[in-house]
Amino acid sequence: MVKLLEGRRILYATPTQEQIGKFWWEVTTALKPAFEAGIYRKNETEKYIVPCHGDSEARIKAKTAWNANTLRGDFADLLILDEYQLMDPEVWSLVGAPMLLDNDGDVVFIYTSEQRAVHATQMYKKAEKLMNEALERGEKPRWEVFHFTSPTSAVPPTTIPVSPETPPCGSTPTAI
């Protein structure tokens, strides 16, 4: 929200409509007082929020993107690629990176680690290496990496059927 207040353009992209719905609910709920006060207005069909005064290009927009062509035709100061492991790598290389070049924009990659997501894992490792090298030189890194785990499943253990294939208690749960 800080970027919006600074007059910046935020573009949230994910390959699934379900993620768009969750993001949109969170953002519109948080901004409800601003809508009611006439500070911002929202377009539910195209999933964007802009200031009512129209004096800046500030905007939050949510859209689906699973390949480079589905991200084209937009620009951002802050690009958020959620569920990046499900996107084609060209989303970033052909469209996302060039989109941010002319305005010194920022990108946030959010992904769930999985073996099939080679491009996401490789990018994470490269960014981590670049960050550590910059820190070792005493410089501010251009890349920052963060790793979070989900310690518990969203499904209560009492609802999971026990079968020979069910992992034993105490094993690392997997988000469903």
Which pLDDT score is estimated for 161?
Answer: 53
Number of domains in the chain: 1
Question: Mean pLDDT over residues 137-153, rounded?
Answer: 82
Q: At 64, is the pLDDT very low, low, confident or very high (cuts 50, 70, 90)?
A: very high
By residue range, what is the domain housing residue 62? 2-159
Is 122 a domain residue?
yes
CATH of residue 59's domain is: 3.40.50.300
The pTM score is 0.80
DSSP string over the chain: -HHHHTT-EEEEEES-HHHHHHHHHHHHHHTHHHHHTTSEEEETTTTEEEESS--S--EEEEEE-SSHHHH-S---SEEEEETGGGS-THIIIIIIHHHHHTTT-EEEEE----TT-HHHHHHHHHHHHHHHHHHHTT---S---------S-SS-GGGSPP-TTSPPTTSPP---
- Within a domain: residue 168? no
Q: Establish if 167 belongs to a structural domain.
A: no
Please state, in angstroms and rounded to a whole number, the distance separating the CA atoms of residues 107 and 142.
Answer: 11
Range of lowest pLDDT (46-50, 124-128, 134-138, 148-152): 148-152
How do 78-82 and 106-110 pair as beta strands?
parallel
- Residue 159 scores a pLDDT above 60: no
Tell me whether residue 112 is in a domain.
yes
For residues 136 and 84, what is the distance between their CA atoms, to the nearest angstrom?
28
Q: What percent of the chain has pLDDT over 90?
A: 61
Q: Evaluate whether residue 108 is within a structural domain.
A: yes
Q: Tell me what pLDDT residue 75 has.
A: 87
Asked if residue 171 is part of any domain, the answer here is no
Q: What is the pLDDT of residues 110-143, one digit of tens each?
A: 988 766 778 888 888 999 999 999 999 999 999 8
Query: Is residue 174, in this structure, part of any structural domain at all?
Result: no
Whether 172 is covered by a domain: the verdict is no
66 or 171, which is more confident?
Answer: 66
pLDDT of residue 156: 62
14-28, 60-74, 160-174 — which is least confidently predicted? 160-174
